[in-house]
Amino acid sequence: MQGKWLATVIGLGLLGSTAAYCAGAEGGTKTPVPSDSSKFRTQPLVPSMFFADPSAHVFNGKVYVYPSHDIPNDAPNDDLGSQYGMRDYRVLTMDRPGGKVTVNGVALDVSQVPWAKQQMWAPDAAYKNGIYYLYFPARDHDNVFRIGVATSRSPIGPFKAEPKPIEGSFSIDPAVFMDDDGQAYMYFGGIWGGQLQRWATGSYNAAAGDTDLKTDDKPALSAKVVKLSSDMKQFAENPRDAVIVDEKGAPLLGGDHDRRFFEGSWMFKRNGVYYFLYSTGDTHLIAYATGKTPYGPFTYRGTVLKPVQGWTSHVSTINQGGSWYLFYHDTQLSNVNSLRSAKVIPLEFEGDGSIRTIDPFK
């Protein structure tokens, strides 16, 4: 999610010829201009505000989307994601994809989280026994990313945060998956600004750097997977590596930027198969891998979503009434990497269970 790569990305054509940018918009030298809407296959769910990282769920037959809320700020673009200065969460609701979208009031603000300092990044939600849970990353007062949880009796909040982050939590992008037996698992982590590389030895080490471990010939850093406690508020075990392997069973290497994990975990289950979706970050793909258990290992299968307009890519999925949908974001309305718009598009499968690759442009 870091901005200094933007010029390289555009120069290499990694975002596709239809991805238009307003030159200088990131630095404020020109007014951002919305891109030509006719070039995009889908349109923003909300045209009047900026929402990214849409985490979608179906609760009681209705669609609830838990996004991060992008707001303008003066922070510089860098490898730490300083330009992503979000501070609160609002829930989007709709009866179905394509229906009217309602933007609800503030569900949780950083000022209501005792341990959090800033940067309320990509959240997720879950439901169990009459309680809705909102999981979120934020920097604590030592500028270390932790993951918190807040609860509500309503899916739209307001949510009340626990006074401390989840014990043993770190990094960003929590995604909670509820298996058929009622056991919940959290997938989390992100390199670069997400700080996952700083936890490679098991404890926080700021000297590990701002990007990755720069060990291209060794196994890539993995997302983390952990079983949640019965009350959904703590880890029930130590986090494990959600290892992604190639077709021969060998872990993907750090230098394999088209396939290795970067951030943005998402998990769903279909026909007994566990699908692990994630962003490749600096190559701007949403990839996926499949496994036989929630812990993996997960075998790389291919690309779910080609590069969108903008640096980041982050997705979720729902199955409503037998139809699958992919929620994602881009910068169509702003041409600014840190002001993104949530979208939705049908998700289709081939007969063998593989996901049909989506091109976000016409």
Residues 107-160 have pLDDT tens digits of: 999 999 999 999 999 999 999 999 999 999 999 999 999 999 999 999 999 999
Q: Are 90 and 103 in contact (CB under 8 A)?
A: yes
Reported pTM: 0.92
d(CA 304, CA 315): 10
| Across 336-350, average pLDDT | 97
Backbone dihedral region for residue 60 (phi beyond 0: left; psi -120 to 50: alpha; all else: beta): left
Please count the helices (runs of H) and the strands (runs of E) in the chain: 1, 21
Share the mean pLDDT of the chain: 92
Q: Which of helix, strand or coil describes residue 6?
A: helix
Nearest to 244 by CA among 257, 264, 258, 259: 259
- Whether residue 255 is predicted with pLDDT greater than 90 in this model: the reply is yes
- Whether residue 20 is predicted with pLDDT greater than 50 in this model: the reply is no
Q: What is the pLDDT of residues 186-203, one digit of tens each?
A: 999 999 999 999 999 999
Q: Are 187 and 265 in contact (CB under 8 A)?
A: yes
Residue with tokens 């929402």: 51
| Across 168-194, average pLDDT | 98
> Residue 351: how many CB atoms within 10 A of its CB?
5
Q: What is the pLDDT of residues 46-57, one digit of tens each?
A: 999 999 999 999
Listing from the earlier edge strand, what are the strands of the sheet with 102-109? Answer: 50-59, 62-70, 88-94, 102-109
Q: Which of helix, strand or coil describes residue 132?
A: strand
Which residues are part of the catalytic machinery? Answer: 53, 263
| Across 15-37, average pLDDT | 52
